Amino acid sequence: MKHFAVRDNQDYRNAFLHAASIYFMTTTQIPQWSMKCDYVETCNCDYACPCNFNGFPSNGFCRALVLYHIRTGNYGDVRLDGLDVVYAASWPKAIHEGNGIMQLFITNRASKDQRAALLDILSGKAKGEGAFAIFASTLKYVLEPQFVDINVKIDGKKSSFSVPGVMDVQLESFKNPVTGEEHEVKVQLPKGFAWKLADAAKTAVMRIVTPSLNFDESGRNAYVAMVEYKGP
């Protein structure tokens, strides 16, 4: 059973009541939705992340901070353009082996309707493309979402994002050890569900400090990509 912790704050309460009410939504009840996003993925694996090849993480467990900067998007009549969401998660083993914990950090610039829409999509309840519905089946705990300031810089393999006092992620490119020039590495996954073509990078900084998600995996794997999803 997923764990939903609800604060007294009415915004949190309303968001979770809405999410609970549609937990068993049928596809015909879900509005048409789409998102085109700048995607920044960071995790604790070695460079390139073996999960993309054989499904198992470098060190036997998975920790990830993933930014979705929505260039354009909608959930029915609700526009999502320009909004940011960070998907923070941890699994004790490989993702597909389950028992994960996840928390969403959603920009506090989002309206009530936009918050509800983003919760539906990124929790996997709105089904459709992307990793959301797939990963939802691997989660044991879904923590209450946080509506916060998110600082974002989209600059390819030098992208960064942060939530003040909570998380900080900064990417850097690989360098040729002889010439010092930037080293270009791309990975293509024609059947990938999170992304199909991405630029490989690494993290100069990758850390989060919360009561339930607390780790520092700086110097590990990162990817940047442009992704497009739709549903249901």
pLDDT digit string, tens, across residues 1-30: 334 343 445 554 555 555 455 445 566 689
For residue 4, being part of any structural domain is answered with no
For residue 54, being part of any structural domain is answered with yes
Predicted local distance difference test score (pLDDT) of residue 165:
97
pLDDT tier, 110 (very low <50, low <70, confident <90, very high otherwise): very high
Predicted local distance difference test score (pLDDT) of residue 198:
98
For residue 174, being part of any structural domain is answered with yes
| Mean pLDDT to the nearest integer, 34-54 | 96
Residues near 81 by Cβ (< 8 Å), separated by ≥ 6? 70, 71, 72, 73
The model's pTM is 0.87
Helix runs in 35-183, H state only: 112-122, 132-136
For residue 5, being part of any structural domain is answered with no
For residue 29, being part of any structural domain is answered with yes
Predicted local distance difference test score (pLDDT) of residue 185:
93
Cα-Cα-Cα-Cα dihedral of 56, 59, 63, 68, to 10°?
-60
Residue span of the structural domain in which 169 resides: 10-231
Query: How far is Cα 220 from Cα 108, in angstroms, rounded to an integer?
Result: 29
Q: How far is CA 153 from the centre of its chain?
A: 16
For residue 221, being part of any structural domain is answered with yes
For residue 1, being part of any structural domain is answered with no
Rg of the Cα atoms in the chain: 17
Segment 163-212, tens digit of pLDDT = 999 999 999 999 988 998 888 999 999 999 999 999 999 999 999 999 99
- Domains in the chain, number: 1
Give the whole-number percent of the chain exceeding pLDDT 90: 84
